[in-house]
Structure 1
Amino acid sequence: MDVVKEGDYVLLWHSNEIKVIAVAKRGLVIGTVRGILRLDDILGKPYGSRIVTNLGHTFYITKPNIIDVLLKMPRVTQPIYPKDTSALIIMLNVRPGSRILEAGLGSGYAASLLAMHLKPLGQLISIERNSRYIAVAKKTLRTMEVNDVVDIINGDIAELALPEEYFDSALLDMGDPWRAIPIVIKALKHGGNLAVYVPTISQVEKVIRSMVDSNFIDIKMIEVNWREWKTTINEVRPKTWNLSHTGFIIVAKKP
């Protein structure tokens, strides 16, 4: 029987609007609008069972989604949101065994999701200039259990000597990616894709110009909008708040 153990991430669900993702720890007490949850009461309980608050409201004890856990991790930069990472995984042809280059590790959110699709034999090499970001990202990668396929380099990609025609694809998530594009094309295998993630149009134009000047082909740009709907019976409609623009994804291919 699969039971809650100390240190597990758990989802305590009352409704779509009232739910808690927490680490099961002895002595931890969580306050909600439906009452107090004492995590001592869930240790050793089977997943799928229920817990009742001091106000008499029931919460299901279940396992969280990958994204639930990832979004609980500390962040030191604006991360690439999962809605965008899901598109990047497809557009970069990420698969088990791929070699991926990333510049701009940040908090490690995108790296975690990319690495999950590379296991067990793939490799993600991530380059990050800020050592403080690296320290935070390493904790995230360990929590998400993907640190074994991620190699981190503290440095500036524009100043590094990368192996030629080594990577299957590359992702740039940095403030000035146009500096790195002429270097990345040499490091990509023929047919490999480069994706650049930037939040503003002024950055987009510089990225596209650098891609053209570096002889990339098949340049395209997308924006991913996520529209969630309310699923309450007799009230099914779009939610009032939705996650809209987060960034632009520009993708190009090395011929």
Structure 2
Amino acid sequence: MKKGTAILLLGKEVRYLVKARKEIFHTKEGGIDLGKIKKFGDTATSTSGTKFTAVEPTLFDRMKKTKRGPQIILPKDAGLIITETGIGPGSKVLDAGTGTGWMASFLANIVGEKGRVVTYEKSKANHKLSKENFKFLGLKVTAKQGNAYKDIKEKNYDLMVLDLAEPWKVKTINQNLKPGGYVVAYLPQISQVMDFSKFLEKNNFLVDRIVEIQEREWAIKERISRPKSQTIGHTAFLVFARRL
């Protein structure tokens, strides 16, 4: 296996993201000899006897190791955005309000090398952080530091994702989106939803859906099942609209 390749060491209780190298990786389960891992699917046993399988990490496995900053758009919301809007390889997408870069990362993974993801972030610190995360993940994202309310000039986007406090101030949405293209706003407060919906209705958009997603994880042990104590409740409302 090439030195530096990302490997996920998958155990029954814990997992570790490492890079391929000829070293001992020290964990609370003991040392793991990474030099013995030659390919994905190989197993490695720590000095305390804990067994791990070396697998190829998913994008989300690697995203969990990115540097964190502002609040992120979680998979429960990002997944619906991607599914509802139908983007795929070759799609052209804009993400406004980069933050840590999670939404742009999900999008870039879907549109692939033939697609294009452009993301705008006003904060210099967040812009720098997101660029470091995109580099760590190996994703093709055009990251711009700028004011999404006035700096978006590109046209014919298939999708615009707006993680902004006042998305109705992006006056160029009609010019930025292709006919039938989607705009999706991520809005924590219902008052924001109402204001943005009014803006859309006045500007030749069809408000398709307004959705809130709550996620509850369950624990199963033998014949006992129960919801886990920590659940993901309200994060934001998603407003889906299409340009007419």
TM-score interval for Structure 1 and Structure 2 normalised by the shorter chain: 0.7 to 0.9
Q: Could you say which residue in structure 1 is the equivalent of 2:147?
A: 156
What is the CA RMSD across the aligned residues, in angstroms? Answer: 2.2
For the residues of structure 2 that align with 1:228 and 1:23, how far apart are their CA atoms? 30
Q: State the SS of the aligned residue for 2:129.
A: helix
What TM-score do you get using the length of structure 2 for normalisation? 0.88
Matched, 1:117 2:106: no
Which of 207, 230, 252 is equivalent to 2:219? 230
Q: Could you say which residue in structure 2 is the equivalent of 1:127?
A: 120
CA contact (8 A) 1:93 1:169 kept: no
Q: Could you say which residue in structure 1 is the equivalent of 2:34?
A: 42
Structure 1: gaps (5+ residues): none
CA contact (8 A) 2:152 2:176 kept: no
Which of 68, 74, 84 is equivalent to 1:75? 68
Matched, 1:18 2:10: no
Q: State the SS of the aligned residue for 2:87.
A: coil
TM-aligned CA deviation for residue 24 of structure 1: 4.2
Deviations for 1:63-94, whole angstroms, at most 9, x for unmatched residues? Answer: 22221111210122111112211111122221
Structure 2: gaps (5+ residues): none
**CA distance 1:53–1:81, change in 2 (3 Å):** same
Q: Could you say which residue in structure 1 is the equivalent of 2:175?
A: 186
TM-aligned CA deviation for residue 152 of structure 1: 2.3
What TM-score do you get using the length of structure 1 for normalisation? 0.84
Matched, 1:169 2:159: yes
CA contact (8 A) 1:49 1:60 kept: yes
Between the aligned residues of both structures, percent identity stands at 27
**CA distance 1:131–1:58, change in 2 (3 Å):** same
**CA distance 1:62–1:161, change in 2 (3 Å):** closer
Equivalent position amino acid for 2:100 in 1: S
Deviations for 1:207-229, whole angstroms, at most 9, x for unmatched residues? Answer: 22222232311342112223333
Q: Could you say which residue in structure 2 is the equivalent of 1:200?
A: 189
CA contact (8 A) 1:6 1:43 kept: no
